[in-house]
Amino acid sequence: MEMPWSNTDLMVGFDEEFDAIVDFARASRVDGGFGYLDADGVVDPTRPIELWITCRMTHVFAMAALKGDDSAREFVEHGVASLLGPLHDDEHGGWYSAITPDTHEVALDKKEAYAHAFVVLAATSALAAGIPQANELLDEALRVEERYWWEPEFGRVCESWDLAFTRKEDYRGINANMHTTECFLSAWDATGDRKWLDRARGIIRFVYDQASQHEWRIPEHFSANWRIIPDYNRDEPAHPFRPFGVTPGHGLEWARLFVQAHAALAQEGEPGDDIAWMTEGAVRLFERAVADGWDVDGAPGFVYTTDFEGTPVVRERMHWVMCEAISAAVAIAPFLSEHPAGKSHAGNDKGGARSENDLRGEGDLRDESAPTITTRSLQELYAQWVAYVDEYLREAPGRWYHELTPDNAPGTRTWPGKPDAYHVAQMLIFARLPLTPTFASAIKDGLLAPLDR
């Protein structure tokens, strides 16, 4: 049975869409970084230059450069220069969360683990692309991670500091730790320092344990000593980074990260029995997110949030959730087949196109208590999701609505404009890569599966 992502026509379309999203993102370049694109693809002058956007754009342009787009290289260089320049705090260390577009003055009076994780990601991708000073940027970013963000007593990162790194916020969040996990996996690939892979594994184990105690719904909000705050942001349920309740999209994103970390550990010779929980957890997170979030309120699409019983709270649909759903489907597919755990989803341990035979069979995980998702049902979901993207999310090539209303009209409650290319770009090439190493490192190593155009 052929899975949709083994279809050459579909993958060629994804490749063309990747080029289109990169072209659209070029308009975000401003002096000092990359700006916030409005609905028309023009930088919004009323918004600051934000660290997380600058880093994500740098990462996307690095992937484009590695794929052979020579014109993208100068955008990566611009990102690195901005991160070593106006966005960097030369007095206290680390990076400003946001600066003003005209004078580059500080525009937000705190520093954030979430955004700092993306500095590491941008630096590793720029390094893979061979950008001068990327080593300097990565060394500084990892030094700051070690000194200010990592809390060894918990094995996770804190959330935010004041500008001078003298006072921490009394809050800990899963979102910041999710992207820290992603950046640690990329740091492992870039440096070969096993510490980063082990730390990613530790964060993932915490998420697995929390989710397994809550019917595979992930608690998002915690106190400084990591006690769950179940009512956090109840009065602001549609917050872009800290929404109330459970975020099915994060369940999907964590599922992908679980499998990527599993592949990295398996490649390092970790015994299968010691890491099987990671793929089991990935499948269960995926199934719970789909059951709670997909097509649950009378219209297609993933709801943004639910409560801890799975009842939708914020019913808007976010583009990033659909991107992560598609990527997670690709990630878990090998673990629904007869293939041994740890096999790369691109068809072999180091890459290459997934063949039709790689995903034959309709068996479930071989365990009576296993989730009910099967290869066939996964195929059907994937086909529905690609069709949903084409019908509702893609306004035009490279132009994606970031948010839709509950009835799938363009919306702006949480995400006005089109500021982010990262989720789309990664999704569009994920099926052509092995599960390890991470995106930029895999492309650099020649592991992007070729297309027969």
Q: What angle do CA 215, 217, 221 make, to 5 degrees?
A: 130
Other C-beta atoms closer than 10 Å to the C-beta of 171 total 16
Does 423 qualify as catalytic in the annotation? yes
Quote the tokens at residue 275.
């890491």
Candidates 78, 104, 221, 423; catalytic one: 423
Catalytic residue among 78, 250, 262, 345: 250
Spatial separation of the C-alpha atoms in residues 88 and 97, rounded to whole Å: 9
| Cα 315 from Cα 11, distance rounded (Å) | 30
DSSP three-state, residue 393: helix
Q: How far apart are CA 171 and CA 147, in angstroms?
A: 18
Contacts 24+ apart (CB under 8 A), 394-401: 394/17, 397/16, 397/17, 397/20, 398/17, 398/19, 398/20, 398/21, 398/22, 398/23, 398/24, 398/25, 399/24, 399/41, 400/21, 400/319, 400/424, 401/319
Q: How far apart are alpha carbons 153 and 187 in whole angstroms?
A: 21
Nearest CA to 48 out of 131, 138, 137, 109 is that of 109
DSSP one-letter code for 297: S
Do 308 and 217 form a contact (C-beta atoms < 8 A)? yes
The alpha-carbon radius of gyration of the chain (Å, integer) is 20
Return all residues near 141 (Cβ < 8 A) that are at least 6 apart: 116, 119, 120, 123
Give me the active site residues, please.
250, 423
